[in-house]
Amino acid sequence: MARTKRRSGGFSDRLARRLVQWGFLFLFLFPFLPLIYERLAFESAGGYTSWLLAWDPLLALGNLLNRNLSALIIGAPLFLLALSLVFGRSFCGWVCPLGTMLDLVQPLAFWRRKRSSKRSRENGTRNNRLRYLILALVLGGSLLSIKLLGLLDPLIIFSRAVTAAMLDLLGSRQAFERGGLTYFSLLFIAILVLEFWQPRFWCRHLCPQGALLSLVSRFSLLNRRVSPACSNCGLCKRLCPMDAIPLDEHDTDYSDCTFCLECESICPVQGTSFRFGGLALASWHPSIRSLPSGKPDHRQGNYVAASSAIPGRQFSRRQFLQGVGAAAAGLAIMPLTTLEKRPTPLRPPGALPEAQFLKACIACQECVRVCPTHGLQAAFLQTGAVGIGMPVLVPRLGGCALGVSCNQLCKQVCPVAAIQPVRKQELKIGTARVDHALCLAWDQGVKCLVCVEACQYQAAIPYQGRVTVDKNKCVGCGFCESGCPVPGSAIHVFSKDPSTV
């Protein structure tokens, strides 16, 4: 009876974890609900700022290294790091939406039957330290530009992929404009595919966010306890999805453990539990570190496991030099991304000058998600390899509604200050130009004033039935281009860069 009760308790703990994961996943997806509402109700629903990136410690650290001191104002990332001192890498196992997606697809790998490589675990192999090199690479590159961080940050990858899926499924853009989002969706799909090869492959070997949390989680106050009832069957070691039990059943590497509770539920003798205190002190108290595995600590009345047997708790000189080399490589790579020159595209209102924008934007596509007219789209190769995934204004799909129906939502959701506040009176995205060969009024003498009626700034002026553009009044909002009845439009907005106007 006691054994059955313990099993039901382990199941309830795992169920609680699933409910927490799904709850946080819903919270992360909540800002996307207005897109669905607009599609169903055919009316504007406004936009919500995603709170996912506001909790991103890797992004906050990258912002600070890039001299964006506004990251200091938001204390959520610092709070998350502080929580990691108490709960270890629980964020990866309970909160992270990408981790939740990996757990959802993991049961589909039925051929694996939840088995891992027993031989490799018995030999004491450990998770790849490549994730620390990637962390050093993206943080080193952040000194010049946080673009590389935007490519590899798991929270940004998730946000970008969901934006792609929502806009694709809801038909919010044309096929030609899908390239950038689809490209980044492939990275998300690749991470899911790796899950079929090895459980939590991304989290264990590549994730820079997980590497950052691992550095703090080594001193977790929440820890795993193994009682003397342990029969050394090895089930917990073989079934741990994070390979956080590297040597024997009494050891736990808290730089990898996400407290998924799999070891607790699978233990046939119910010898595994999770409690606060005890083992965390082993990180800096030699007296506790010398305790043998499975022996009671009479000072606390709990069974603790020795941590001295876990290899690799300290970085070697070689690993340190590898990290320094990766950081230097990040510094060297970032200037190379600006070598390709392309015409200056139309950016969101208030965007930094093009050279600065390319360094600051992380292509998270939050502005693409909240744009009320869906005129902001993610670029693919239209602006060259440098600008892949970054927002561009496509007036044919929708003009910029700043000052009309939009309170500069793009600036409000930008997590890296790549878009600055701008008033309607100061708005200048570009300048419209009429193609006389295509315009119905110019070429065929047809009385068409659609662009005049669409213009919000009285910059489109009819003269003897033909439309001209006052460059001093035109701000490049693009409503004239989106409303033109000519296929492909007879009026186009060009960048405010003098060389392209």
Q: What is the pLDDT of residue 179?
A: 45
Residue 212 has pLDDT above 90, yes or no: yes
Q: Residue 48: inside a domain, yes or no? A: no
Concatenate the DSSP letters of all residues of 168-204 into one string.
HHTT-S-GGGGHHHHHHHHHHHHHHHHHHHSTTHIII
Taking alpha carbons only, the member of 495, 490, 492, 460 closest to residue 474 is: 460
Last residue of a domain, one of 283, 303, 323: 303
326-359 pLDDT tens trace: 556 555 555 544 444 446 788 999 999 988 898 8
Tell me if 69 is assigned to some domain.
no
- The pLDDT tens digits for 405-416 are 888 889 988 988
Question: Which range has the worst mean pLDDT, 5-9, 100-104, 321-325?
Answer: 5-9
**How many domains are there within the chain?**
2
190 in any annotated domain: no
- Of the ranges 109-118, 279-288, 357-366, which one carries the lowest mean pLDDT score? 279-288
Find the CATH number of the domain harbouring 282: 3.30.70.20
Q: What percent of the chain has pLDDT over 90?
A: 9
Residue 251 domain flag = yes
- Give me the domain span that covers residue 248: 219-303
Last residue of a domain, one of 257, 277, 303: 303
| pLDDT at 330 (0 to 100) | 57
Spacing of C-alpha 140 from chain mean position = 19
What are the tens digits of pLDDT across the range 218-244? 888 888 888 888 888 888 888 888 888
Mean of pLDDT over the chain: 76
Query: What are the pLDDT digits (tens) for 428-475?
Result: 898 999 888 888 888 777 788 888 888 888 888 888 778 888 888 899
Tell whether 479 is covered by a domain: yes
Widest CA span in the chain: 97
Q: Which of 243, 274, 256 is nearest to 215 (CA)?
A: 256
Domain boundary among 284, 303, 322: 303
